[in-house]
């Protein structure tokens, strides 16, 4: 009796086809991976950066969808809030600060401004308003704020430079070359710096700089400048001697230059004269300590001698009579 044996030919063919398909998939994956690697070699950024870009694109699409839905629903404020929330949840919020350019001021003031922001989502952070807040700090001349995705805020600071010390009735204040007040300082910190006094002197700092530039040799010798009566300067040198200058920018600069020339010839600074008054223009008046008292004493002695002579003469005439 004949018996038919089934060899399962279809099963063998299916297995062979499956293996062929698997080999094709593996080959395609290898080719795709090689192609991606080749592309990454020519990319101007790393694979990590590419990942961030992709995440940002996904975030942008998500935010756009949420915003569109919210606007269509008539609640744009809610859209903005939800977009910021999505960005924060995705890691796009201020978590790190990179502060540059700070050398003299207290850097903590900058951190207080940033950390004090209620909204720290990178997508909704108001950089212009934040820059204005930083520029309001006394030491800050200019500030620049930029984002460094995904979570870093970069702060570039241009500081003001201390130029002189403003003496007020109750304190000493450090100022820059424009007269902007920086901070209160103790006397030991003000030691060796130019001291400014007088009502309204803070607005005349640049005028004083131009005046002192007229006599570069004397400039480092000036210890204090007093703005008198809102019209002229008195300069006190490190020797303690005082130079009284006339009114007007040109006249005061000319007088200072003339004094510098006289000092170069006659060595006025460090001498016996306590004060030099150059307000007359064509002459200089000098005050020597104790000289006025000596003159007064001489006048009193002369007056007494004259009175005594008159008394003796009167007595002699009386005897003759």
What is the DSSP code string of 103-143?
Answer: SSS-THHHHHHHHT-S--BTTT--HHHHHHHHHTSTTEEEE
Closest CA to 47 of 33, 37, 61: 37
Q: Is 227 helix (H, G, I), strand (E, B) or coil?
A: strand
Give the span between the Cα atoms of 33 and 29, in whole angstroms. Answer: 6
Q: For residue range 127-150, list pLDDT tens digits in order.
A: 898 999 999 999 999 999 998 888
The single residue listed with the structure tokens 């070699």 is: 41
For 60, list phi and psi in degrees, rounded to 5: -60, -45
* pLDDT over 70 percentage in the chain: 63
Q: What are 165's strand-pairing partners?
A: 174, 195
Q: For residue range 269-283, list pLDDT tens digits in order.
A: 999 999 999 999 888
Give how far Cα 309 sits from Cα of 25, 295, 299, 315, Å.
Answer: 138, 21, 15, 10
Is-contact 286 276, C-beta < 8 A?
yes
Give the span between the Cα atoms of 44 and 42, in whole angstroms. Answer: 6
Structure confidence at residue 94 as a pLDDT band (50, 70, 90): confident
Full DSSP string of 146-186: EEETTTEEEEEEEEPPP-EEEE-SS-EEEE-TT--EEEEE-
Structure confidence at residue 25 as a pLDDT band (50, 70, 90): very low
Which range (10-24, 46-60, 225-239, 250-264) has the least confidence?
Answer: 10-24
Q: For residue range 198-207, list pLDDT tens digits in order.
A: 999 999 999 9
pLDDT surpasses 80 at 231: yes
pTM equals 0.64
Which range (106-115, 222-231, 260-269, 270-279) has the least confidence?
Answer: 106-115
pLDDT surpasses 90 at 192: yes
Q: Across all residues in the chain, what is the average pLDDT?
A: 80
Alpha-helix runs per DSSP H in the chain: 9-42, 47-72, 76-89, 108-115, 127-135, 187-190, 205-213, 249-266, 291-320
Structure tokens at 153: 């805020």
Q: For residue range 207-218, list pLDDT tens digits in order.
A: 999 999 999 999
Give the span between the Cα atoms of 55 and 90, in whole angstroms. Answer: 9
Structure tokens at 8: 């399962």
Across residues 167-180, what is the average pLDDT?
96
Closest CA to 93 of 84, 83, 102, 82: 84
Burial class (CB in 10 A: 0-12, 13-18, 19+), 157: buried
């Amino acid at each position: 009796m004949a018996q038919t044996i089934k060899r399962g030919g279809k099963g063998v063919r299916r297995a062979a086809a499956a293996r062929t398909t698997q080999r094709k998939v593996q080959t395609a994956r290898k080719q795709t991976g090689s192609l991606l690697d080749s592309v990454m070699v020519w990319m101007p950024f790393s694979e990590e950066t590419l990942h961030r870009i992709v995440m940002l694109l996904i975030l942008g699409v998500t935010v756009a969808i949420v915003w569109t839905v919210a606007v269509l629903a008539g609640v744009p404020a809610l859209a903005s809030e939800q977009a910021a929330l999505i960005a924060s949840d995705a890691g796009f919020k201020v978590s790190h600060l990179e502060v540059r350019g700070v050398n003299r001021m207290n850097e903590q003031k900058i951190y207080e401004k940033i950390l004090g922001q209620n909204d720290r989502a990178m997508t909704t952070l108001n950089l212009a308003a934040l820059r204005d807040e930083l520029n309001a700090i006394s030491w800050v001349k200019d500030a620049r704020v930029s984002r460094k995705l995904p979570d870093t805020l970069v702060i570039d600071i241009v500081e003001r430079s201390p130029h002189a010390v403003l003496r007020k009735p109750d304190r000493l204040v450090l100022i820059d070359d424009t007269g902007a007040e920086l901070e209160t300082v103790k006397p030991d910190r003000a030691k060796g710096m130019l001291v400014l006094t007088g009502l309204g002197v803070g607005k005349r700092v640049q005028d004083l700089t131009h005046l002192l530039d007229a006599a570069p040799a004397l400039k480092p010798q000036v210890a204090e400048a007093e703005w008198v009566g809102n019209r002229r300067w008195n300069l006190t040198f490190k020797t303690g001697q005082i130079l009284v200058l006339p009114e007007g920018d040109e006249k005061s600069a000319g007088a200072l230059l003339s004094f510098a020339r006289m000092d170069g010839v006659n060595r006025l600074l460090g001498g016996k004269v306590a004060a030099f008054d150059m307000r007359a223009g064509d002459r200089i008046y000098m005050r020597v300590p104790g000289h006025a008292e000596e003159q007064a004493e001489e006048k009193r002695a002369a007056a007494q001698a004259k009175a005594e002579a008159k008394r003796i003469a009167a007595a002699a005439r009386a005897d003759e009579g």
